[in-house]
């Protein structure tokens, strides 16, 4: 397996030249030069309304309506570009999806959601409220007796919730708080088997890949899911989202949101009321080109394998520091899995509890004062997950989150751990 050339990798991000350590990548990654170039190119050379016959419009239409969904389909491993929907955010994409399903959900239906990022929770809760159907919660549960905050989403906890009325199961492929990477294929297989047992013949699965996509390769066909979403601005691209909708769902489940005179019966355009920024849609085509440049193989799977391998060099020293007996005695508790391995993204959250407890915002305040690295505190829109933690935390203070990606270095981690050492001695 090819390894990352970290110098070459970092050279493709102009913002990294400042030397600032970006440690809030789960909130938004830096943007690759390949993407910036395409953003500029579109605005300079093809900034025209779509659908006209003159040459600039024709080129603009090709870039936005053909090139962008074709590249997004590769990132999802979708069967067709016709299964790709663009919107300003993943929250908006999923909210549109939920609205489009209203007419096709029976009065006795049930929807199962997790307590993860509200983008893939809120739209389904609002849908259930609008059409008055049942909502159930698949909650993350503890994995270790020693640390009550070491929780994860377990498939055995969702299976008893599935009944003949279950219509939607919505969960995350990677938690933006816990950092745990879910074995999506394994979970989906178990969910579908249970659905067959109880007669849930219309069950569909929606997977939030926003915190997964920067770290691992999505494969909606292998996973056998109906809906999946990612945010390009967390995958080295512009601020826009792409959503996968299985073609059978486009044909049978969703109703059009577009103008009544637009015919889009079984293609994704039916879920795209009004066009998102054309320049950002086209700029997303640079993301795959950047990812493919990471290894000589010119293959997305190889690139993500190299990303995963490098990320382990970042995760290992940071988790080792935070779980050291000295930090445990100080009151540091990881929120999520404390193991290192390929099932762990470099998104690491913790709290400081006990006799010498610290508020999360006070930990981050020291980093902000030094001005050399950016990390965050809060609930990060996983409000329900944080609010459910026991012993209880202040949900508005939340956790300290350090979220790294493959362009971060071991030197970045060293600075972060050194600074944490000083903070925890205060």
d(CA 101, CA 254): 5
Residue 426 has pLDDT above 70, yes or no: no
- Asked if domains 6-30+297-424 and 44-290 share a fold, the reply is no
Q: Nearest 5 degrees, angle CA 407-CA 71-CA 44?
A: 85
C-alpha–C-alpha distance, residues 358 and 142, integer Å: 23
Residue 274: predicted pLDDT = 82
Kind plus residue range of the DSSP H or E element containing 51 = none
| Options 3.40.640.10, 3.20.20.70, 3.90.1150.10, 1.10.10.10; CATH of 44-290 | 3.40.640.10
Residue 111, SS3 per DSSP = strand
Domain regions of the chain by residue span: 6-30+297-424, 44-290
298: Cβ–Cβ under 8 A, 6 or more apart, which residues?
A: 292
- Decide if pLDDT at 122 tops 80: yes
Task: Please report, in angstroms and rounded to a whole number, the separation of the first and last CA atoms in the chain.
Answer: 43
Q: For the whole prediction, is pTM greater than 0.95?
A: yes
Q: What are the φ/ψ torsions at residue 351 (nearest 5 degrees)?
A: -130, 165
Residue whose pair of structure tokens reads 């969703």 in the numeric block:
254
Alpha-carbon separation of residue 169 from 111, 159, 178, 328, 341 (angstroms)? 6, 11, 20, 36, 27
DSSP secondary-structure letter at 240?
-
**Per-residue pLDDT tens over the stretch 166-211:** 999 999 999 999 999 999 999 999 999 999 999 999 999 999 999 9
Q: What is the spatial distance between Cα 110 and Cα 195, in angstroms, rounded to a whole number?
A: 12
The CATH number that domain 6-30+297-424 falls under is 3.90.1150.10
User: Per-residue pLDDT for 350 more than 90?
Assistant: yes
Q: Please give the pLDDT value at position 262.
A: 79
* Section 385-402 average pLDDT: 96
What integer is the mean pLDDT of 243-268? Answer: 88
Whether 337 and 166 have beta carbons less than 8 Å apart is answered as no
């Amino acid at each position: 397996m090819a390894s990352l050339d970290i110098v070459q990798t970092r050279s493709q991000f102009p913002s990294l030249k400042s030397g600032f350590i970006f440690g809030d990548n789960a909130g938004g990654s830096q943007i690759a030069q390949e993407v910036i170039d395409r953003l500029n190119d579109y605005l300079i050379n093809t900034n025209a309304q779509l659908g006209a016959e003159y040459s600039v419009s024709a080129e603009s239409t090709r870039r936005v309506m053909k090139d962008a969904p074709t590249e997004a389909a590769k990132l999802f491993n979708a069967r067709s570009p016709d299964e790709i929907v663009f919107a300003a955010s993943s929250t908006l994409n999923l909210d549109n999806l939920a609205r489009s399903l209203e007419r096709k959900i029976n009065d006795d239906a049930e929807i199962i959601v997790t307590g993860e990022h509200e983008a893939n929770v809120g739209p389904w809760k609002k849908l259930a409220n609008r059409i008055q159907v049942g909502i159930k919660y698949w909650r993350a549960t503890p994995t270790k007796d020693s640390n009550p905050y070491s929780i994860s989403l377990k498939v055995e906890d969702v299976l008893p919730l599935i009944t003949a009325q279950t219509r939607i199961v919505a969960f995350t492929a990677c938690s933006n708080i816990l950092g745990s990477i879910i074995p999506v294929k394994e979970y989906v297989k178990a969910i579908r088997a249970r659905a067959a047992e109880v007669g849930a013949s219309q069950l569909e699965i929606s997977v939030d890949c926003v915190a997964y996509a920067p770290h691992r390769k999505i494969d909606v066909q292998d996973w056998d899911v109906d809906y999946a979403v990612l945010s390009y601005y967390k995958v080295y691209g512009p601020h826009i989202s792409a959503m996968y909708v299985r073609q059978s769902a486009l044909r049978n489940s969703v109703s059009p949101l577009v103008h009544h005179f637009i015919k889009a019966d079984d293609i994704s355009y039916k879920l795209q009321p009004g066009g998102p920024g054309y320049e950002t849609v086209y700029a997303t085509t640079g993301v795959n080109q950047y990812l493919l440049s990471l290894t000589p193989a010119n293959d997305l799977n190889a690139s993500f394998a190299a990303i995963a391998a490098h990320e382990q060099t970042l995760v290992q020293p940071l988790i080792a520091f935070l779980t050291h007996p000295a930090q445990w005695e100080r009151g540091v508790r990881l929120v999520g899995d404390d193991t290192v391995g390929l099932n762990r993204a470099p998104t690491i959250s913790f709290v400081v509890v006990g006799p010498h407890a610290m508020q999360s915002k006070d930990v981050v305040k020291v980093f902000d004062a030094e001005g050399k690295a950016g990390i965050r505190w809060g609930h990060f829109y996983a409000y329900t997950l944080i609010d459910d933690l026991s012993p209880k935390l202040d949900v508005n203070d939340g956790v300290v989150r350090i979220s790294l990606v493959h362009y971060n270095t071991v030197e970045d981690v060293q600075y972060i751990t050194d600074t944490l050492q000083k903070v925890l001695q205060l």
